[in-house]
Amino acid sequence: MGLALLGCVGALKELRCLLGLYFGMLLLLFATQITLGILISTQRAQLERSVQDIVEKTIQNYRTNAEETAAEESWDYVQFQLRCCGWHSPQDWFRVHSLRGNGSEAHRVPCSCYNLSATNDSTILDNVILPQLSRLGPLARSRHSTDICAVPAKSHIYREGCAQSLRKWLHNNLISIVGICLGVGLLELGFMTLSIFLCRNLDHVYNRLARYR
């Protein structure tokens, strides 16, 4: 919004300095996007390993620190939206001791792994859906920092890992993602062209106005 306001003021007031600044910032933004795209395409394997390490660390430290739950709540939201459990499979949660309540040896997984379409249990529905709908609210954060919602691994949970679900989502939405990126890039190129064209032709406009005066 600030960049658009800068371009609008420069065009309306016909100020070369603002138009040049607008062009330079837009060019920097465009170059940054191109660089990020190249890095993501060439370093895809390393990026996937980095994401895997972050997710595995988040799973292992699940609910161990009541003051730091942002990453854990975000991962619960990912599992809820992608309908998956764990990174590779639900077995990623089996080594998390905080999910074993009352010293039980039964394997348990977070409620975000629960398959809602396979149950009509209102208690589980409230525990799964309400935190996801209000997960950005302070009441939801304070409540879930102390209470751990977990279900048995033998119940109706998602059996697919989020790594495979994420790959499927990217594959199904690849055309849309590429189309949006190309559209934004072409729009930025168009604005850069218009700004530099207006900036270069200000002298001609001033000369014509001087003749009429």
- The domain spans of the chain are 1-131+146-212
Most confident range, picked from 51-60, 116-125, 193-202: 51-60
Reply yes or no on domain 1-131+146-212 having CATH 3.40.605.10. Answer: no
| Confidence (pTM) | 0.67
Report the Cα–Cα distance between both ends of the chain, in Å, rounded.
Answer: 37
Residue 148 DSSP SS3 = coil
Q: Confidence band (pLDDT; 50, 70, 90) for 10?
A: confident
Q: Residue 133 has what pLDDT?
A: 52
**DSSP run (H or E) holding 96:** none
H helices of 44-149, in order, are: 44-60, 70-82, 122-133, 138-144
Closest Cα to residue 72, out of 98, 50, 94? 98
Q: Confidence band (pLDDT; 50, 70, 90) for 141?
A: very low
Q: Residue 57 has what pLDDT?
A: 92
Q: Residue 1 has what pLDDT?
A: 86
Q: Confidence band (pLDDT; 50, 70, 90) for 143?
A: very low
Q: Residue 147 has what pLDDT?
A: 56
Reported as a single tens digit per residue, the pLDDT across 146-194 is: 457 778 878 888 999 999 999 999 899 989 988 999 999 999 999 999 8
DSSP letters, 160-191, are S-HHHHHHHHHHHTHHHHHHHHHHHHHHHHHH
Q: Output the six-digit token pair for 148.
A: 């751990």
